[in-house]
């Protein structure tokens, strides 16, 4: 299972990349707006830190403008993946970019049918938002299960990125269901490595070692 980090903060990306578990990065306009660097500088710096897929989202709303943005962004680095909204215009863009050899990440997927359409259009990745589904009383992980079966049934060349992760259990469930990728906010990545019994054990070992050294 691949881990992408869901942030545009260069310092955070550097920190977690040093752990050796970051395979890619997902960004969006909201995350980019929080950075002190310009959009172009942030993207270039992120590509220098992580040698893996870097999702950059288009901001236009019609297919022609989205394609223009996609071509501009993809020319910046070989690892750039174009993030496209899962709607009718987005399907046109995904299909067109597939023919141009440009990888895409269909974002804001909330149903199996949406994911199926994006996979058929040629999306390299689909990003179902499990946390937002949980927020409205639906089971986000049920969607992951459905999409995993659909992609397996028809051998689509599409990977599932589990997005909108809210807690460590989302990561565990995504791995158990066979999702290809989890895109994880920094605060959740911190929680994955933490356990009170681990901290307790380290503290005990260090105290015991002090006795031995004396």
Q: What digits encode the pLDDT tens for the residues 87-98?
A: 999 999 999 999
Q: How confident is the model at residue 78 (pLDDT cuts 50, 70, 90)?
A: very high
- State the catalytic residues: 83
Predicted pLDDT at 212 = 86
Between CA 189 and CA 21, with CA 18 as vertex, the angle to 5 degrees is 50
Does residue 213 carry a pLDDT above 80?
A: no
Nearest CA to 183 out of 196, 174, 191 is that of 174
Of 29-33, 78-82, 112-116, 123-127, the range with the lowest mean pLDDT is 29-33
For residue 5, what pLDDT band results from cuts at 50, 70 and 90? very high
Q: Does 214 have pLDDT greater than 90?
A: no
Distance between CA 82 and CA 125 in Å, rounded? Answer: 10
Q: In this predicted structure, what is the pLDDT of residue 114? A: 98
pLDDT at 42: 94
Q: Using one digit for the tens of pLDDT, what is the confidence trace for 104-152?
A: 999 999 999 999 999 999 999 999 999 999 999 999 999 999 999 999 9
Model-level pTM? Answer: 0.95
Please state which architecture CATH assigns to domain 2-213.
Answer: Alpha-Beta Barrel (3.20)
Residue 17: both structure tokens together: 């990349």
Question: What is the rounded CA–CA span in Å between residue 165 and residue 144?
Answer: 12
Between β-strands 104-109 and 125-128, what pairing exists: parallel, antiparallel or unpaired? parallel
pLDDT of residue 36: 87
Averaged pLDDT, 172-179:
98
Residues 38-66, mean pLDDT to the nearest whole number: 96
What's the chain's average pLDDT? 96
């Amino acid at each position: 299972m691949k881990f992408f980090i869901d942030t545009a903060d260069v310092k955070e990306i550097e920190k977690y990349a040093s752990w050796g578990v970051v395979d890619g990065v997902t960004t969006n306009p909201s995350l980019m707006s929080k950075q002190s660097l310009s959009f172009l500088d942030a993207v270039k710096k992120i590509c220098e830190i992580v040698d893996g897929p870097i999702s950059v989202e288009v901001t236009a709303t019609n297919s022609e403008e989205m394609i223009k943005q996609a071509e501009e962004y993809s020319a910046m680095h070989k690892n750039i993946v174009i993030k496209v909204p899962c709607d009718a215009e987005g399907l046109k863009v995904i299909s067109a970019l597939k023919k141009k050899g440009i990888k895409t990440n269909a974002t804001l997927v909330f149903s199996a049918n949406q994911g199926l359409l994006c996979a058929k259009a040629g999306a390299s990745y689909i990003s179902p938002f499990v946390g937002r589904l949980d927020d409205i009383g639906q089971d986000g992980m049920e969607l992951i299960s459905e999409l995993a079966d659909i992609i397996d049934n028809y051998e689509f060349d599409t990977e599932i990125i589990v997005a909108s992760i809210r807690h460590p259990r989302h990561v565990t469930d995504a791995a158990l269901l066979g999702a290809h990728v989890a895109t994880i906010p920094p605060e959740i990545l911190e929680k994955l490595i933490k356990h009170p019994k681990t901290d307790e054990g380290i503290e005990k070992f260090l105290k015991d070692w002090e006795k031995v050294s004396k």
